[in-house]
Structure 1
Amino acid sequence: MIVQRRAVTAVLAAATLLLTAGCSSDDGETPGAEDNATPSRTAAQSPPSRTAEETPPAKGSVKVVRTVATGLKSPWDLAPLPDGDLLVSSRDEGTITRVDDRTGRKTELGEVPGVSPAGEGGLLGIALSPDYASDHMIYAYFTSASDNRIVRMLHDAKKPSGEQLGAPDTIFKGIPKGVIHNGGRIAFGPDKMLYAGTGESGDTGLSQDRDSLGGKILRLTPEGEPAPGNPFPDSPVYTYGHRNVQGLAWDSEQRLFASEFGQNTWDELNAIKPGDNYGWPEAEGRSGGTEFHDPLAQWGTDEASPSGIAHAEGSVWMAGLRGQRLWRIPLKGTEAAAEPQAFLEGEYGRLRTVVAAGGDKLWLMTSNTDGRGDAKEGDDRILELEVK
């Protein structure tokens, strides 16, 4: 098991970040940051020719079908169960809750031991084992007192509410923690390997250090070992040069995409290529050179502060926190096929997680009770969307 080789103190990391001119949190909400001029969004130039079969239309649509559940507390991630119900992690409560897809009824599975919520840390990403139907394992990424780590727990739905989670088995630890930039998104890929997006915890030097676990996308076996075929020998590092990876999703051709918080200028959607360097802190957004892998689309930080992403109907759908909108990015291969299109702007506040539910259906979860949003009656909520 690989552990973090640099000891990074969360308080020092936060202080360093706040003393850096104009430096922003994951939502771009450092005092004064909203007064900074931010460029408008841009997308990669479209290829010269396409067919309707290859490329989704430049313009799409979104319909909110219904509100699935309300009254969620600091929800962070969403994982659909095989029967259609939804599991929700609570960042600050440290709990996992089951939501009935039909009635919205909430049943707490239990509290994850060892979660130490503070700032942007706490119980973050959750994912079901690829063999959940037989092993009933839930994976979780969380901030502990010393680091960020990934555990797996047996889910026994036959036990009473609050007692359904088994003792956590730590499969990976040593990811640097901070008051900010803890990453946290985990997902099993089509190859049944576990991918994790990490942040640099406010220490920008970690992103370019391939011996560090901060500012990376990691690729692991379900047991927490470096996955076979990783680009760097005996390392869990899949890509590096990231600031704070928050969304992971694959398209129908098994290509991986990731969303990432910028600082004050550009938020990013990236097409992920094993072993590539995505530039931070030397580059934010497109550099135009060959040293770093440029994003396929980028936004001014007031328009996005992206979190979760999903792929459906030929497009990546990206939830925006500070931007308070859902972005659609139509794709041709690993390029943007048209300008990104925004939906639901300001209608539901901050948007944290979006999950594909098959066909033209998405689950979308808000994030207004995390201390940064303007919580309304009923927040936070899960919405069912129909997209085209």
Structure 2
Amino acid sequence: MQHGKSLEAQIKAKAAEIGFAACGIARADAAPKAGVRLRAWLADGSHGSMIWMEERAHHRESPAGLWPEVRSIIALGMSYAPATDPLALAGEGGIGRISVYAQGGDYHDVIKRRLKELARWLVGAAPGADVKVFVDTAPVMEKPLSEAAGLGWQGKHTNLVSREHGSWLFLGAIYTTLDLTPDNAGRTTCGSCDACLSACPTNAFPAPFRLDARRCISYLTIEHKGPIPTEFREAIGNRIYGCDDCLAVCPWNKFAAAAQANQAFLPRAELVAPELRDLLQLDDAAFREVFAGSPIKRIGRDRMVRNCLIAAGNSGDAGLVPVVASLLEDPTAEVRGAAIWALRQLDAGRWMAERKARLAVEADPEVLAEWAVQGPPPRGRI
């Protein structure tokens, strides 16, 4: 240990040197209400089809549930503040919108590498300490733990908000057996502001500080398998992977400097404003090539094309009709069903002609349900 400098101060200095924009410390039992809220949220079914959250709830609801020996949590945040307005491409017809966090390299890899570097240093600085590192995919409640460690507070949109970095922090944690001096917890500073709640296109917040994932565009485009519920399709607009609306409108973002973002998260040019026409023509091999090294890769080609078809249907771009119609032949029911909806939105006459030809040969019940839509076609889309 450096003379005259506490271990906690050294940890924070080392974290900053490695590239973390925020670092705080909490006791392992500092967020007892998080587990109660989690259980209530799961009981309400607000997690949708994310069964893995149910299955490991006993690990997730408290750090000790995952690792009984843990005494302290080192909470860390890495900025991915965007250099441009995340809402700039709203309504841009043939362009697909990808959430800011997914436009660059896979944050899981970057953050885990940095966490391991800090953990190795900590073991060297405090011999005998045991540590475990976690980022996102582990059953860890990063947001309430980060709030307990003073990185910020969970806003009304349920995401962490920082005074210095706004809504743009990737979170990670190091669990340790060390007894470290904790920081003061973050305090909610949302006041009467409800910008994030009002901005949600699908009304996914039944109340402040509560999210119904089943209505969230990020859930619908990333986690949800099968057809996207009809009631949300038009509200999705041209979003094809995730949604930044509730984050982007937060007033605290005016303090978030894009220059603080880690270089590893700079957007790839081809993912900033991708053409729907190009994405709709991807086969599995091409999808894997385009999204290599991206968190988007995990949803697979079929779900991405499904999302792009919903965006195409909302685009009003008749030039997309040929490629949309070609996907009526796709071997995947999820894609065929979305193509039917998109075609009806763009060209009702073509949709009716295709319907007559295809109803007799289609066997999948969900695809048949798309063809069975009754009533007049959308106005202005013929």
Superposition TM-score tier, normalisation by shorter sequence: under 0.3
Q: Considering fraction of residues, name the structure with more helix.
A: 2
Q: Considering fraction of residues, name the structure with more strand.
A: 1
Larger radius of gyration: 2
